[in-house]
């Protein structure tokens, strides 16, 4: 079966302003690379559906969902924009984009669990892994991966899922949501100290946090993943794997100072795919997080998708 590729035009219309690194052109760069490289023909494309807010409330508090929904709908109606924090701007198209980004993650989970795809990649924005149970931050509004993981557990009846986060920034929002949920094992790498300046001390027993000093290169990252992630993932035996796929640890990306390259993302994806084949019937849902150098982002997503699609 093919790799499902989910996106929606609404994800491109969310625009936080000139010069903002989390820009619509990120999705354009990925699309252009997939077509130019020929990867596109191996993917099963789906237009993402908007998420049901009931699914969002499995990861976020009802109060937060109500408040952020009211704000984003108000901006959609008024045509105005509002700063959530110094880096996170809500604007008239943010509401639709956030609904479709989280909706893509849930839809991808259903496609994989229903046997309609081996695995899936969600080319969506806004990203999600900084959104906590009760706060939008770090370019994120709904935590797409956490919403999808809780859907798999609470609606589809899985017993154990893993969340793998290789963004250069710590996925503090995901950690906040799933801390001490024994059904979830979260493993992550991230640059320390870097926004959001967390992760050195995990919030729960179900976390394997690997803080990395600036300028850590790919072979060192691989050794740490092999030593620290893989034994715990093998013991946990997840029934499905979710990936917060941030590509801003690339050496060309100015938002961090790590030294990964496309071959490292290929290697990480191969290790996770092998784990999923051993324990989870190959079931993986990957969601785009960071990655702000357009060329490096496009090439790295391409490497990630080549492994997922087996081409």
Kindly report the number of other CB atoms within 10 A of residue 296's CB atom.
22
Q: What percent of the chain has pLDDT over 90?
A: 100
230 in Cβ contact with 274 (< 8 Å): no
User: How many domains, in total, are found in the chain?
Assistant: 1
pLDDT of residue 280: 98
Band of the pLDDT at 46, cuts 50, 70, 90? Answer: very high
Could you read off the pLDDT of 142-180 as tens digits, one per residue? 999 999 999 999 999 999 999 999 999 999 999 999 999
Given CA atoms 266, 267, 273, 274 in this order, what sign does their dihedral have?
Answer: positive
195 in Cβ contact with 171 (< 8 Å): no
Using alpha carbons, select from 245, 190, 222 the residue that is nearest to residue 30: 245
Torsional class of 187: left (φ above 0), alpha (ψ -120 to 50), beta (otherwise): beta
Residue burial 4-40, b: 16+ Cβ < 10 Å; e: rest: bbbbbebbbebbbeeeebbbbebbebbbebbeebebe
List all residues 6 or more positions away from 78 whose beta carbon is below 8 Å from its beta carbon. Answer: 92
187 in Cβ contact with 176 (< 8 Å): no
pLDDT of residue 149: 98
46, 130, 169, 170: the active-site residue: 130
Is the N-terminal amide bond of 193 cis, ω within 30° of 0? yes
Q: Range of 18's domain?
A: 3-309
Q: What is the mean pLDDT of the segment spanning 77-81? A: 98
Residue 191 has pLDDT above 90, yes or no: yes
Task: Give the Cα separation of 304 and 245 in Å (integer).
Answer: 9
Q: Please give the backbone phi and psi of residue 174, each rounded to the nearest 5 degrees, phi first.
A: -60, -45
pLDDT of residue 200: 93
pLDDT of residue 137: 98
- Mean pLDDT (the chain) is 98
CATH number at residue 126: 3.40.800.20
300 in Cβ contact with 247 (< 8 Å): yes
Find tokens 């785009």 and name the residue: 288
Task: Give the Cα separation of 78 and 2 in Å (integer).
Answer: 42
Using alpha carbons, select from 25, 139, 127, 54 the residue that is nearest to residue 91: 139
Q: Model pTM? A: 0.97
pLDDT of residue 249: 98
Six token digits for residue 215: 């300028």
Half-sphere exposure of residue 286: CA atoms within 13 angstroms, side-chain side: 30
Task: Give the Cα separation of 274 and 139 in Å (integer).
Answer: 31
- Annotated active-site residue 130? The verdict is yes
Q: What is the mean pLDDT of the segment spanning 168-193? A: 98
Residue 1 has pLDDT above 90, yes or no: no
170 in Cβ contact with 143 (< 8 Å): no
C-alpha distances (whole Å) from 238 to each of 84, 242, 284 are: 35, 10, 10
Band of the pLDDT at 84, cuts 50, 70, 90? Answer: very high
């Amino acid at each position: 079966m093919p790799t499902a590729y989910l996106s929606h035009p609404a994800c491109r219309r969310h625009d936080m302003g000139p010069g903002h690194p989390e820009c619509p052109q990120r999705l354009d760069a990925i699309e252009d690379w997939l077509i130019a490289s020929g990867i596109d023909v191996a993917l099963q494309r789906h237009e993402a559906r908007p998420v049901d807010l009931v699914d969002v409330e499995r990861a976020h508090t009802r109060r937060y969902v109500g408040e952020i929904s009211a704000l984003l709908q108000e901006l959609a109606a008024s045509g105005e924009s509002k700063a959530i924090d110094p880096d996170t701007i809500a604007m008239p198209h943010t509401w639709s984009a956030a609904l479709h980004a989280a909706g893509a993650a849930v839809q991808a989970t259903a496609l994989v669990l229903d046997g309609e795809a081996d695995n899936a990649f969600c080319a969506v924005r806004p990203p999600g892994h900084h959104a906590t149970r009760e706060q939008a931050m770090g370019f994120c509004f709904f935590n797409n991966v956490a919403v999808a993981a809780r859907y798999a557990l609470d609606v589809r009846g899985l017993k154990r899922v893993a969340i793998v986060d290789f963004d250069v920034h710590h996925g503090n929002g995901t950690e906040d949501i799933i801390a001490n949920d024994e059904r979830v094992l979260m493993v992550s790498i991230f640059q320390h100290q870097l926004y959001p300046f967390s992760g050195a001390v995990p919030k729960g027993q179900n976390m394997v946090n690997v803080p990395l000093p600036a300028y850590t290169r790919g072979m060192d990252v691989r050794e740490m993943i092999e030593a620290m992630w893989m034994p715990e993932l093998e013991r946990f035996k997840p029934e499905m794997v979710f990936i917060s796929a941030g590509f801003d640890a690339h050496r060309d990306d100015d938002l961090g100072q790590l030294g990964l390259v496309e071959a490292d993302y290929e290697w990480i994806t191969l290790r996770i795919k092998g784990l999923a084949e051993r324990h989870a019937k190959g079931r993986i849902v990957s969601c785009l997080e960071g990655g702000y150098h357009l060329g490096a982002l496009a090439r790295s997503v391409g490497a990630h998708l080549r492994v997922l699609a087996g081409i």
